[in-house]
Amino acid sequence: MTAEVFPLVDCFGAGGGEPYENALRTGGPLLLHDDGPDPGPAPRPLEVDRFLAGADRVERRLLASTTGSVLDVGCGPGRMVAEARRTGRAALGVDVSPESVRLATDRGLPVHCGSVFDDVPGAGTWEVVLLLDGNVGIGGDPTLLLLRSAELASPTACLVVETALERHRDRRFTARVSSPVSGGSGRFPWAEVGAEALVAAAGLSGWTRVREVRRRRRTFVVLTRVTP
């Protein structure tokens, strides 16, 4: 019996049966697999229902603790963009998923379809940059992503990162997603970083930790730009 081959792709959940795109249409379910060379944890469910819902109380309070314009990197269907705009703030989402962008724009939300590593509107001016839902893993290199976030942010910006539950976790690996309906995606670079491991990456990329917020088994680290 020939083992299934999952080709390498650049984007989260792309390729194969496009399980991520289909899960956004149907509400899931969806699993994230660690396909690295070393044995990783068992596949874990992704909270597609939460991606599709509005911002929850924890997210609303977290956003309210910041001020200024908001750039949500890996915004999905745009729940945080919607919350920022609800409170009168300028906001933009960035996502590579065409279905995420369609869902957001159908609701009148401003979302840029493309990679955070390519041209992003308003680069260098955003006062709050969000990396929620584990999106610090985008590209498989958190230090590189934090450096890119610094390029997109204003000199006085803050960066809000949702980290892995395990405080010292620092794993870069090849991942894929799957669903029982659509099968598997291609394999893509990903990373998972805990709150303590994030500090080292932040120090290499122009950010310093301000505070940590833990709510309902979720951990967020708020960072600010390092003053030269």
- pLDDT tens per residue across span 109-130: 999 999 999 999 999 999 999 9
Mean model confidence pLDDT for the chain: 93
User: How many whole angstroms separate alpha carbon 206 and alpha carbon 227?
Assistant: 8
CATH class of 19-225: alpha beta
Least confident of 36-40, 133-137, 189-193: 36-40
User: How many whole angstroms separate alpha carbon 195 and alpha carbon 35?
Assistant: 23
Residue 1 scores a pLDDT above 60: no
- Where in the chain are the domains? 19-225
- 8 Å CB contact between 94 and 114: yes
Residue 174, exposed/middle/buried by CB under 10 A (0-12, 13-18, 19+)?
middle
Residue 3 scores a pLDDT above 50: no
Q: What percent of the chain has pLDDT over 70?
A: 96
* Overall average pLDDT of the 49-76 stretch: 97
